Amino acid sequence: MTNDVISGGQPIHAPDNLQPLLESILQQALTVNDGKVADYIPALAEVKSDYCALTVATLDGNVMSVGDADKAFSIQSISKVFGLMLAMERVGDSLWERVQMEPSGQPFNSIVQLEWEQGIPRNPMINAGAILISDVLVSHYSASKSALLSMVRGLCGSEEVYVDYRVHESEREHGARNSALAYLMKSFNNIESDVEEVLDHYFWQCALTMSTEQLARGMAFLANRGKCPHSGRQITTHRDSQRINALLSTSGMYDQSGQFAFTVGLPAKSGVGGGIVAIVPDYGVICAWSPPLNSYGNSARGMYMIRELANNLGLSVY
């Protein structure tokens, strides 16, 4: 792996054996005690706060992990990436008539902004945008859930990826604000299908559950110009993988996206389950997980681990 390059031709200073560095970073991360586990969804509030995992999956098939990398967790908003990719594949550029690609500058579940902008979400990574994407999938697939799960399992190379139905039900029972976003978009004629069916798909998608190793493999196509490294199948066009990475760079880390770009310099997506996945073009994927969240809704330890690894190896794409 020594002297591999990333996009832009910048060298990666990676040792042949990353394991000692990953272990050192994990041990340092365990001393980070900021943040608290998400509690607005009861099923998430029960997850142990001391879980911590870090995985690096390179495009040559090498997967290196430390900590609780075999534990499955709810990926929550990280699932927005999979839904977006499927919607882009199905409807093409017409998608961007219904959702923008701009940073929001507002909380990820803002109702005010959606009202101001007449039911057009700012980007697919905020809740309104992801609900819009769910509408596209429900409208264009006879079995949208099966289509998404089948695709994700194929990308991860594992049939063990599953949906935690307890989390799904917990999301539904505490999803009033998301319901408000969906019905507001419906009032502006930007939701085509039945609102409750769209919301059910969205809540179900957020309950996708997997380990850091599975998630790192599942996102590897974004580091490989749209091609899945382990299957060799072209998942998206090179152009669409660039577009998704661009959205992750500007909007993937909630209101902390600018700070993450400044300090880490990688396209990334987080979820309130404590997961963060970061894309290193032409090299691989970093996935971190630890449930306690900072004030932005991002894993405090996960942020620390990815930042330290990126800085040690010189991974910034900028």
pLDDT digits 0-9 by tens, 226-285:
999 988 999 999 999 999 999 999 999 988 999 999 999 999 999 999 999 999 999 999
Beta strands 162-163; 208-210: pairing state: antiparallel
Handedness of CA 190, 177, 270, 70 (dihedral sign): negative
Domain ranges of the chain: 19-313
Active-site residue identified among 136, 138, 272, 277: 272
* Residue 108, pLDDT score: 82
- Does the active-site annotation cover 211? no
Question: Reduced to 3 states, what is the DSSP secondary structure of residue 23?
Answer: helix
Token pair belonging to 230: 């382990």
pLDDT digit string (tens) for 107-126? 788 899 999 999 999 999 99
**DSSP alpha helices (H): ranges in 1-126?**
19-29, 42-45, 79-91, 112-116
Query: Binding site membership for substrate: which residues?
Result: 77, 127, 171, 178, 202, 254, 272
Active site residue 272: yes
How much is the pLDDT for 230? 87
Out of 254, 283, 296, 304, which one is annotated catalytic? 254
The model's confidence at residue 8, banded by pLDDT at 50, 70 and 90, is very low
How far apart are the C-alpha atoms of 219 and 151, rounded to whole Å?
12
The model's confidence at residue 143, banded by pLDDT at 50, 70 and 90, is very high
Q: Are 144 and 272 contacting, i.e. CB atoms less than 8 angstroms apart? A: no
Percent of the chain exceeding pLDDT 90 equals 88
CATH superfamily of 19-313: DD-peptidase/beta-lactamase superfamily (3.40.710.10)
Residue-level pLDDT at 7: 46
Residue 112 three-state SS: helix
Tokens of 64: 């290196």
Among residues 65, 74, 80, 277, the one annotated as catalytic is 80
Q: Which residue among 32, 56, 74, 77 is the active-site one? A: 77
Handedness of CA 137, 193, 77, 47 (dihedral sign): negative
Name 118's Cβ contacts closer than 8 Å, sequence gap at least 6. Answer: 188
Decide if 77 is catalytic.
yes
- CA 292 – CA 68 distance, rounded (Å): 15
Q: Give the tokens for residue 173.
A: 């029972």
Lowest-confidence pick of 1-10, 15-24, 31-40, 221-230? 1-10
Is a pLDDT exceeding 50 seen at residue 1? no
